[in-house]
Amino acid sequence: MNKRLPFGLAMVLLFIPCLLLGAFTHYPAFRALQNSFWNNSSSRRPSKFVGVENYQTLLQDDRLAQIMLNSTLYALGTIPLAIGLAIGMALLVNARLPGTSLMRLSFFMPTMLPMIAVANIWLFFYAPGIGLASQILGVFGLPPINFLGSTETSLISMMFVAVWKEAGLFMIFYLAALQAVPENLKDAARLEGASATRIFFNIVLPLLRPTTIFVAVNALINAFRLVDHVIVMTRGGPNNSSALLLYYIYEVTFSQRDFAYGATLTVLMVCLLGVLAAVQYWVLNRKAHYQ
Amino acid sequence: MKTSTCFLNSCCAAAVMGLSATNLSAADLEFYFPVGVNAPAVDTIQALTDTWAAQNPQHTVKAVYAGNYEETTTKALTAANAGQPPQVAVLLSIDLFTLIEEDVVVPISDIANTPEDKEWIDGFYDGFMKDAEFEGKTYAIPFQRSTPVYYYNKDAFRAAGLDPEAPPTTWDEMIEMGKALTVKDGNGNVSQWGTRIPTLGLGGAWLFGGLVVSKGDVLTTETGIEARMDTPATVASLEFLLELSEQGVMAPGGISWGDTPKAFLEGQTASMWTSTGNLAFVEENATFDWGVGFLPGGDGPGAPIGGGNFYIFSDTTDEEREAALDFIKFMTSPENAATWSIATGYVAPRADAWETPEMKAYSERLPQALVALDQLQYAEREFATFQRAKVTQHLVDAIESVVTGNAEPAEALRAAQEGADAVLDDYK
């Protein structure tokens, strides 16, 4: 291990990852920043430097305001719920009950399906009148709900799909963490007469904290990163009630072909994620207890 | 390796044919096409493409299914910007201004300039050519064109005591008959709505254009820089959509385009507004007696025209352009236009296609197919401007905010007009 790597080889090894990072991360990010100060040119409109005009548009964009609110609600709603559910499911499959492998498989199944397929399945579930959800409501004599067609329910319906899809993945991480909790700690607690609840809250949960932080970071990234279900199910509608930030960037850039404003929105998103990541790492370094 | 084999084949073929073919030069075509209907469209396109390739062994053609309309446009534009455009593609007629602005398509009238070619172009229905022209040039050739029509369940009409051969023709009749057609179950929940007009997304905006036409106005003009979103006709149209749900004839809230044919087939609604492109799907799956009528109108009949046209991309060689033009002529020939129309329900874009024996047999078997053709004379171009996606979004937002109960028609349309004008001012 103490043998020094030849300088030339080190450079070669460094060069390849740096090239990939530069070509696919830093250069596009720099170009996005650059584009955000120019107008959206075309054969009919000459290209010109517009300074912070795109950023002024950003501040006055009512759609963006609505979308930022949606994204915040979406993150706040899905992350704690998915984590709570994942812990619950992990405890359930970690308990030595009959049929755990079947349970494990069924909890993990939604994660294995591609998001596009999941979104199409839920599209059928949610279809008013004919979908599964309406049929179930019908059994109880309740009127069908237009889940994706009304502004009150569309975002919640999307959040439900995301939680259903994500919780299984997080369960796997918790399952691994649970199996790493040393039995002797629990045995000692039991010897001193601690109840199962007390053991969970005072021993297991603190030991799960690094996993929780890891999962929370991932869930937060996913909350901004996954928009396939929005594209398939609602296209952000009705009236932008289910549009999320990345979907908006996609729509502005590729559907409306406004590359300048798309770049401006991208800069906003990168800054936002950067700040959130910094905060999370700060919390992670302070609070996490690693063995 | 494959290309060289093809090249060899084409050389041999040309030699065998004794150099009699008019197109001696070989071209490799790439053809992007979307599918926007519930029909086995990919197989039909592939079969037609293969036939053309077999008849023209000096050329090759690769048909690329590129997703829905929007995805196909995005792919074609991205490929064109990267310098590798498809030579020919079927894209939305309303993408005309975007394609011109991006400077990626060549006017077909520049390539097809012989007297025979002009005659060929004149053979298409005028209604379908209106939105293929800009500044005196023909940029596109109609292929998969459609208008929405009123589909209705004749059995439901009989059950409600209505004449199954007399569908509603006006908005008032739609509400009146819709009330008779609405059925509630024991709990007071509606089990069958009177009608269903999709109001969400681009499909909603397309149908909205038909409402406006029936009130004697248009949403857009051929200039590509005019959006007429805040007019008495648009306000009346949006109020009518709202009234349908207020009167209990249509489900409240936003109605999606995609679920609509299913809801009709499942008996959730006694009638629906959707594209003729769904004729084949409804014919195949309906378990009841059904009919098709003109869209009921405000002051008279009116409908939007939609669908896709052939475009030829500009970053191509002369040989490729000639081959692409020949390919388009083949695809829109009477027999092939008939095959395509029968497989999907799209309106065959030429009068001579309707004269073919296949088409005559088809319209005898399925007289519903003739309704869209008859309605064509009352139809106007679909909403299209420069920056179409951005401008249309303002209209979509206005319609969606009203049908979901978050805004009043007049106020929402005024906001949409302001938004649209702000985008289009750059072009005036």
Out of A142-151, A155-164, B278-287, least confident range: A142-151
* Nearest-CA distance B72 → chain A (Å): 11
Specify the pLDDT at position A290.
54
Neighbours of B10 (CB within 10 A): 20
| Average pLDDT for B189-203 | 92
pLDDT of B15: 40
Q: Which residue among B349, B373, B397 closes a domain?
A: B373
Count of domains observed in chain B = 2
Indicate the average pLDDT of chain B: 89
Residue B386's nearest CA partner among A39, A248, A63, A43 is A43
State whether residue B55 sits within 8 Å of chain A by CB.
Answer: no
pLDDT tens for each residue of B344-383 = 889 999 999 999 999 999 999 999 889 999 999 999 999 9
- Residue from the list B102, B258, B266 with its beta carbon closest to the beta carbon of A43: B102
Average pLDDT of the segment spanning B213-239? 94
Q: Which member of B102, B200, B387 has the closest CB to residue A149? A: B200
**A146 → closest Cβ in B189, B251, B258:** B251
pLDDT more than 70, % of chain B: 94
pLDDT of residue B22: 46
Buried b (16+ CB within 10 A) or exposed e, B214-245: bbebbbbeeebbbbbbbbebbbbbbebbbebb
Looking at the structure, do residues B263 and B408 belong to the same domain, yes or no? yes
For B284, the token pair is 């195949």
- Asked if B266's CB is within 8 angstroms of A129's CB, the reply is yes
Distance in angstroms (rounded) separating the CA atoms of residues B147 and B381 = 10
Query: Contacts of residue A237 in chain B, CB cutoff 8 Å?
Result: 200-201, 254, 396, 400
A181-192 confidence digits (pLDDT tens): 888 988 898 898
Residues of B in contact with A254 (CB under 8 A): 74
- The DSSP line for B178-242 is HHHH-EE-TTS-EEEBS-----SHHHHHHHHHHHHHHTT--SB-TTSS-B--SSHHHHHHHHHHH
Can you spell out the DSSP letters for B295-364?
PPBSSS--EEEEEEEEEEESSS-HHHHHHHHHHHHHHTSHHHHHHHHHHH-PBPSBHHHHTSHHHHHHHH
B409 and B294 in one domain? yes
Q: Are B105 and B311 in contact (CB under 8 A)?
A: yes
Q: CA–CA distance from A207 to each of A174, A210, B24, B80, B314 (Å)?
A: 11, 7, 76, 55, 64
Query: What pLDDT score does B11 carry?
Result: 42
pLDDT value at position B140?
95
- Three-state DSSP at A28 gives helix
pLDDT of residue A236: 87
- Contact (CB<8Å) B259/A130: yes
- pLDDT on residue A255: 86
Which residue in chain B is spatially nearest to A141 when comparing CA positions? Answer: B187
A51 Cα to chain B: minimum distance (Å): 18
Q: So what's the pLDDT on residue B322? A: 93
Residue B80, pLDDT score: 92
Same domain, B396 and B317: no
> Are both B175 and B33 inside the same structural domain?
no
As beta bridge partners, residue B292 has: B151
Q: Do A239 and B404 touch (CB under 8 A)?
A: yes
Cβ–Cβ below 8 Å for B259 and A127: yes
Which pLDDT band, with edges at 50, 70 and 90, does B295 fall under?
A: very high
Domain stop point among B354, B373, B392: B373
Q: Residue B44 sits in which domain range?
A: 2-146+306-373
Percentage of chain A beyond pLDDT 90 is 31
Residues B74 and B190 in one domain: no
Q: Which domains does chain A have, with CATH numbers?
A: 50-287 (1.10.3720.10)
Question: Residue B404: which of A45, A235, A238 has the nearest Cβ?
Answer: A238
Q: What is the pLDDT of residue B299?
A: 93
Q: At A288, is the pLDDT very low, low, confident or very high (cuts 50, 70, 90)?
A: low
Q: In chain B, which residue's Cα lies nearest the Cα of A150?
A: B253
CA angle B6, B11, B12 (to 5 degrees): 100
Please tell me whether residues B255 and B167 are part of one structural domain: yes
Task: Return the residue of B nearest to A43 by Cα.
Answer: B101
Cβ contacts of B74 on chain A, cutoff 8 Å:
254-255
Among B157-171, B178-192, B394-408, B409-423, the range scoring the smallest mean pLDDT is B178-192
For residue B290, the model assigns a pLDDT of 95
B105 lies in the same domain as B225: no
Same domain, B209 and B133: no
- Kindly determine whether residue A150 and residue B404, on different chains, have CB atoms separated by under 8 Å: yes
pLDDT for position B13: 42
Q: Give yes or no for residue A6 having a pLDDT over 90.
A: no
Q: Residue B340 maps to which CATH number?
A: 3.40.190.10
- Nearest Cβ partner for B406 among A42, A239, A254: A239
Q: How confident is the model at residue A2 (pLDDT cuts 50, 70, 90)?
A: low
Confidence of residue B39 (pLDDT cuts 50, 70, 90): low
Residue B25 pLDDT greater than 80, yes or no: no
One domain for residues B297 and B343 = no
In eight-state DSSP terms, residue A273 is H
pLDDT in tens, B46-78: 999 999 999 999 999 999 999 888 889 989 999
User: Residue A123: its chain B contacts at CB < 8 A?
Assistant: 258
Last residue of a domain, one of B352, B373, B394: B373
Above 80 in pLDDT, residue B37?
A: no
The answer to whether B259 contacts A258, with C-beta atoms less than 8 Å apart, is no
Q: Which residue of A has its CA nearest to B269?
A: A129
State the pLDDT at residue A210: 84
Nearest CA in chain B to A120: B258
| Whether residue B132 has pLDDT greater than 70 | yes
B126/B198 same-domain check: no
Cross-chain Cβ contact B252/A237 below 8 Å:
no
At residue B301, the pLDDT reads 94
Q: CA–CA separation, B207 vs B197, rounded Å?
A: 8
At A291, is the pLDDT very low, low, confident or very high (cuts 50, 70, 90)?
very low
B22 and B39 both lie in a single domain = yes
Asked if the model's pLDDT at residue B388 lies above 50, the reply is yes
Residue B382 C-alpha, separation from nearest chain A C-alpha, in angstroms: 17
Best mutation target among B78, B92, B134, B390 (most A Cβ atoms within 10 Å) is B390
Inform me whether the C-beta atom of residue B81 falls under 8 Å from chain A C-beta atoms. no
- B24: closest CA of chain A, how far (Å): 35
pLDDT of residue B18: 38
Mean pLDDT, range A225-229, rounded to an integer:
85
CB contact under 8 A, B389 and A238: no
Burial class (CB in 10 A: 0-12, 13-18, 19+), A257: buried
As a whole number, the mean pLDDT across chain A is 87
Q: Are residues B216 and B330 in the same domain?
A: no
CB–CB contact A143 B189 (8 Å): yes
Beta bridge partners of B7: none
Query: For residues B238 and B411, what is the distance between their CA atoms, to the nearest angstrom?
Result: 11
